[in-house]
Structure 1
Amino acid sequence: MKRILETERTYLRELAWEDYDDLCEILQDEKTMYAYEHAFSDEEVRNWLNNQFRRYKNFGFGLWAVVDRNTNCFIGQIGLTMQNVENKQELEIGYLLKRKFWHKGYATEGAIACKEYAFNVLNKKRVVSIIRDNNYASQHVAERVGMKIEKQFTKHYYNMDMIHYLYVINKTK
């Protein structure tokens, strides 16, 4: 499995089918998925994983597995994805971790590494995070990465209209 990045405590690598059970622990946990308003079915988890494989092939990046460097324990997924925001394609830093790893700094550590990867490897000038208005923990991660709210918008997902904030950081010279 291809390693992409290393942080102080983790490495990020491409997801693989062997990660399915670990992904289920995240995507099928109602408390973890509260911002999505539903836990995923088995089919939705498979589609999620296949979508990452398509992203790797089409863009060279996607959400990556976050793995503890000392224990090789799967922590979650963090990475970069192209997202449509009001008919504009934006490069997003996204993160979803197993609940037992929340509030330990992993999301911030991985998101900062992804920001640097976007700026220094992909030569992007801007990255965003799209975050639900009620997802305060993810908002705090974006703020620790240095992002600021650029705008609020409504996203239609799972037959619902959901208010989101577009957090943005631009590369400085």
Structure 2
Amino acid sequence: MLLETERLLLRPPRLADAEPLFEILGDATAMRYTTRQKSLRDCRRYLAAHERQRRRLGCAPWVVIEQETNSTIGFGGLYEDPFDPGWGPEVGYFLAPQAWGKGYATELVLHCVVIARRQTHWPVLCAFAIPITSHRSGYY
């Protein structure tokens, strides 16, 4: 299953995606407000847990690929977090720092909202944000 937005390709992760995703999910800067994957093995387990959720619930984060470069730039989408259950469906994303400030997060989130609105079994969609105390150019 391949989904497409204006500038992004979204697809479920494959085993070969673990290494490029670990560069993001294991990066202290990219993951500074959430749990960072400590090893490639942990990253593989993390991806597998989300894929079990996809089979069970019909949604899980996608590999986020920049169409122009065909580069993996993130992991995110519409999902129920298998590591912090009970919040219901949410939108989340983790992008490589070099992808920040380009509007990719907004593009991904808007696509997720469209998908969520089509789902009759999700009456509420949640998103969480970490407040930023100081603005830095190119931050997001």
Per the normalisation by structure 1, the TM-score is 0.68
Question: In terms of mean alpha carbon deviation, does 86-95 or 54-63 score higher?
Answer: 86-95
Q: Percent identity?
A: 30
Query: Number of residues paired by the alignment?
Result: 135
Shift of residue 111, structure 1, vs aligned partner: 0.7
Matched, 1:107 2:105: yes
In structure 1, what is the Cα distance between the partners aligned to 2:91 and 2:81? 10
Name the one with the larger strand percent.
1
Q: Where in structure 1 are there 5+ consecutive unaligned residues?
A: 142-173
Structure of larger gyration radius? 1
The 3 A distance-change label for structure 1 pair 134 and 18 is: same
RMSD: 2.7
Matched, 1:23 2:14: no
Q: Which has the higher contact order (CA 8 A, sep 6+)?
A: 2
Shift of residue 136, structure 1, vs aligned partner: 8.2
The 3 A distance-change label for structure 1 pair 125 and 46 is: same
Q: Where in structure 2 are there 5+ consecutive unaligned residues?
A: none
| Alpha-carbon contact 1:15-1:52 (below 8 Å) kept | no
Per the normalisation by structure 2, the TM-score is 0.82
In structure 1, what is the Cα distance between the partners aligned to 2:133 and 2:63? 22
